[in-house]
A and B are shown apart, each in its own frame.
Chain A
Amino acid sequence: MQNKKRNKLLIEISGLILAILWLTPFYLMVVNAFKTKKGIFSDILGLPEEGTFENFKQAFIDLDFIRSFFYSLFISVGSLALIIIFSSMAGYALARNKSKLSSGIFMVFVAAMLIPFQSVMIPLISLFGQVEMLNPAGLIFMYLGFGSSLSIFLYHGAMASIPVSLDEAATIDGANKWQIFWRIVFPMLKPISVTVMILNVIWIWNDYLLPSLVLSQETATIPLKMFFFFGQYTKQWHLALAGLTIAIVPVIIVYFFAQKHIIKGVTDGAVK
């Protein structure tokens, strides 16, 4: 009994230390966003002596926040929609058609997860450049390609929980393949679709490297715009931190509404 109490205490203390470690960068970001440039360097850890909202106003203008938020949203939502639509259909087709060919195609998708992005980025950019697709639409197609492997893997596994008899009942009822998938199977894939959406939105929204290679200044996303404040000779920390604070607000709002699904999604992704 004593051991149990002691172990519980140890776990709680460890959790507290980890929480402090995790939250410290956020604390530093938010607290220093309200300080002037001088104020940040005079006391980085303390609360602002004279809080100011000027940083936020300036960052909002310099980031062209509404435009960059729009492009982040457009690219994320567009990519997610295509990933969910095509990956779910592919997972369904590969799971329901049991043959050597479908197993082979599935293995190819799974193997593609092992390919690091850095090894394909240059030929990819070169190819898309040749067909003039170095723009938000082209980026969406790239995310579709990179995001499909894991998503198809997840959908393929989820299909095991949907009895084939439902497909057969719908076939007897007179539904065609399209109707069977969209009216019967896809609604039942809602939990895994939420998982796929959450796992993909996390990396697509925060991605820097691929948008930096594809997008121009006019169509830059929020992560790209952040580096506006880091010049060759000077770093405008007060504006950068204010910009970062603004940038995470939409993420926090989404998290508050979807936290149950996010936790489940990350857990499922880890288990799978």
Chain B
Amino acid sequence: MKQVELINLSKSYEKQTEVLNEINLSIDEGEFFVLVGPSGSGKSTLLRMIAGLEDITSGVLKINEKVVNHLPPKDRDLSMVFQNYALYPHLSVEQNILFGLHAKKVAKKEQQKRLHETADMMGLGSLLKRKPKQLSGGQRQRVALARSVVSECPLCLMDEPLSNLDAKLRAHMRMEIRRLQKRLGLTMVYVTHDQVEAMTMGDRIMVLNEGKIQQVGDPITLYNEPANLFVASFIGSPKMNMGQAKIEDHHLVIENELKIPLDLTELLKITKNKGLTVGMRAEHIFRGEAEETTHLLEVVNVEQLGNETLLTFEIGKELWTAKWLGQWQVSVGNKVPVNISMKNMSFFDSETGELIKAASTPTNQEVVAI
């Protein structure tokens, strides 16, 4: 069943500034759906329109197949977790969690039952009498989640809930939220500007930019087959390597520097006359082994991350990054042999930014459980 449906949804302020432009989307029951995009892309506005905190300029919003455009938030059967948690500072953790149930006049016995179940689930049993200022960031986050869970609403909206946490806690909470969502079977609409969160948490991702949908799909599809230059550069860390390319003498020439021989079959797939932008993922610039070396490139920067090494090369006016697993003893100034193959490149139209041809993806490897 479609839990949430957006039909030609638009939002503008004072009939001039268009923030969202004809968004069409449906989110299934039990799905973890991520809205990702840079600041100002309209993702939080879209979430707030679903919540009922922002008016809808035009279009239709349906929740549980019911049109809810003019329904107040409390009648939309949803809960929300805010970026700054929005815990009531003068109320204890227990009172914060029960506030919504109290407002909706749920029976006291039922309130206590849900409180204790949720507190046990979220590990808040010993913190119920404390005030929010006596809690750590992670604890406050769990209280905000508990407030959402205790409402037993099937739809949960989250507006960048992890952005105020440190990197380690963020990684832990990502996993906790995902496990909670699966355990309770909630439909979650999650807003983030962090593409790592989007990739690791979402069943499906919608990439937004300047109020327009760039692409909707599962994380791997967005990674392997980005619909345009924006999605290609936004998804993936490190960023996809990009460069202007042209075809000269049966070679693909990137940034007037890197030459890759073309064969006829490849030539037919990409039009010679179009302005071309090529993209290549960092992990597809392999270390050249003997005859497989295609180029020798000078290293301009090295980053050792422990489990992998990032090497940066200057390709024309662009900086390209290679990601090699393991710890490689390479210094700045070294010329390293690399293997760059066209089959690992994605091609985009320089004018429209649209994808012409995606890189060849490896065959899916499946794990068989014994």
Contacts and interface: CB of A to CB of B under 8 A. Distances in A.
A173 interface: yes
A182 to B, nearest CB: 12
Interface residues of B, number: 22
A165 B147 CA distance: 15
Given A165-B84, A168-B53, A173 B147 contact: yes
Contacts of B99: 170, 173, 175, 183
A163 B103 CA distance: 20
Interface in B148-183: 151
Given A168-B82, A169-B80, A169-B82, A174 B88 contact: no
B100 interface: yes
B82 A165 contact: yes
Interface string B32-48: 00000000000000000
Q: Which of A168, A170, A171, A174 has the most CB of B within 10 A?
A: A174
A47 B294 CA distance: 108
B53 A173 contact: no
B235 interface: no
A175 B89 contact: no
Given A173-B103, A173-B151, A163 B86 contact: yes
B359 interface: no
Contact of B100 (A166, A173, A176, A187): A173
B103 A172 contact: no
Contacts of A173: 74, 99-100, 103-104, 147, 151
B61 interface: no
Interface in B64-99: 72-74, 78-80, 82-84, 86, 88-90, 99
Contacts of B103: 170, 173-176, 179
A168 B99 CA distance: 13
A56 to B, nearest CB: 45
B4 to A, nearest CB: 15
B51 interface: yes
Contacts of A165: 82-84, 86
Given A172-B80, A173-B151, A174-B104, A166 B86 contact: yes
A169 B79 CA distance: 9
A172 B88 contact: no
A165 B99 CA distance: 15
A175 B51 CA distance: 14
Q: Chain A contact residues (Cβ within 8 angstroms of B): what range?
A: 10 to 19
Contacts of B84: 163, 165
Given A168-B53, A174-B74, A174-B100, A187 B151 contact: no
A30 interface: no
Contact of B51 (A170, A172, A183, A188): A172
Interface in B104-128: 104
A257 B175 CA distance: 52
| 7 pairs of A and B residues whose beta carbons are closest in the complex | A173-B100, A169-B86, A174-B74, A174-B103, A165-B86, A175-B103, A174-B104
12 contacts: A165-B83, A166-B86, A166-B88, A169-B82, A170-B103, A171-B74, A172-B79, A172-B100, A173-B147, A175-B99, A176-B103, A187-B90
Interface of B: 51-53, 72-74, 78-80, 82-84, 86, 88-90, 99-100, 103-104, 147, 151
Given A170-B88, A172-B51, A188-B90, 15 more contacts: A163-B84, A163-B86, A165-B83, A166-B86, A169-B80, A169-B86, A171-B73, A172-B53, A172-B79, A173-B74, A173-B151, A174-B103, A175-B99, A175-B103, A188-B89
